Amino acid sequence: MNDAQHTRKAILAARDHLNSEEISANSEAIRQRLLASDEITDAATICSYVSFRSEVHTLPLIESLLARGKRVVVPLTRVSERRLDLVAIDDPANDLAPGYCNIPEPREALLPRHLVDPQDLDLIILPGSVFDLRGGRFGYGGGYYDRLLAQVPGAGRIALAYELQVVDRLPLAEHDELLDRIVTEKRIINGNRHR
């Protein structure tokens, strides 16, 4: 196991030890901090991951964005093509179903009518396993979001993370994409993407 894999595994184990009350309270603090940001105010079309297991919960965020009149897009994993299709949703309760690895994803019935071109995205809200103070990100090893980010360099990039997922510096690879911001329950970290 290399250093990156070890770091990812250790941080995910710590995240998985958060209890449901900690996850809910931290997720709410992160949601409130994000909703107050200019990036949310200025964006019309926002892609957000749908949370799974111990990730920062995003369903309340998605509902808040929809209530504000935002066009909300969520990813549909295409494993054989190693890509994410982007699908607009209106009602998470009806539009999402268990998908790849049991992660909630858009129902196939929404396609192709609700398929969204990545170039239409103003902002992408990402998950991840570990983040650093430069805006570096380790995902889960599949590279799906790195490929999406490379397609849309003009879209804003914000990750949601618990403070325990943030380290000083990650050993990033050339293909790893930097973020604009990381929002935790305690702070907003400004990344180095445009510096």
pTM score, whole prediction: 0.95
- Quick check: is 60 in a domain? yes
Q: 9-24: per-residue pLDDT in tens?
A: 999 999 999 999 999 9
- Quick check: is 138 in a domain? yes
Q: Are 58 and 49 in contact (CB under 8 A)?
A: yes
Q: 130-178: per-residue pLDDT in tens?
A: 999 999 999 998 889 999 999 999 999 999 999 999 999 999 887 778 9
- Quick check: is 162 in a domain? yes
Query: pLDDT at position 153, please?
Result: 92
- Quick check: is 195 in a domain? no
**Exposed e or buried b for every residue in 148-167, given b needs 16+ CB within 10 A?**
bbeebeebbbbbbbbebbbe
Check whether 128 has a pLDDT greater than 60.
yes
Q: Is 142 annotated as a binding residue?
A: yes
- Domain with 154 in it: what CATH number? 3.40.50.10420
Q: Which of 158, 85, 98 is nearest to 123 (CA)?
A: 158
Query: pLDDT at position 70, please?
Result: 99
Q: 29-78: per-residue pLDDT in tens?
A: 999 999 999 999 999 999 999 999 999 999 999 999 999 999 999 999 99
Q: Is 143 annotated as a binding residue?
A: yes
Q: Which domain holds residue 147?
A: 3-190
Number of domains in the chain: 1
Query: pLDDT at position 1, please?
Result: 65
Q: Are 166 and 131 in contact (CB under 8 A)?
A: yes
CA–CA–CA angle 60, 186, 56 (5° rounding) = 35
Quote the tokens at residue 190: 């400004």
Q: Which residues pair with 146 in a beta bridge?
A: none
Q: Is 140 annotated as a binding residue?
A: yes
Query: pLDDT at position 2, please?
Result: 77
Q: Is 162 annotated as a binding residue?
A: no
- Quick check: is 37 in a domain? yes
In this structure, what DSSP letter does residue 87 have? E
Query: pLDDT at position 177, please?
Result: 83
Q: Is 99 annotated as a binding residue?
A: no
Confidence of residue 188 (pLDDT cuts 50, 70, 90): very high
Q: Is 191 annotated as a binding residue?
A: no
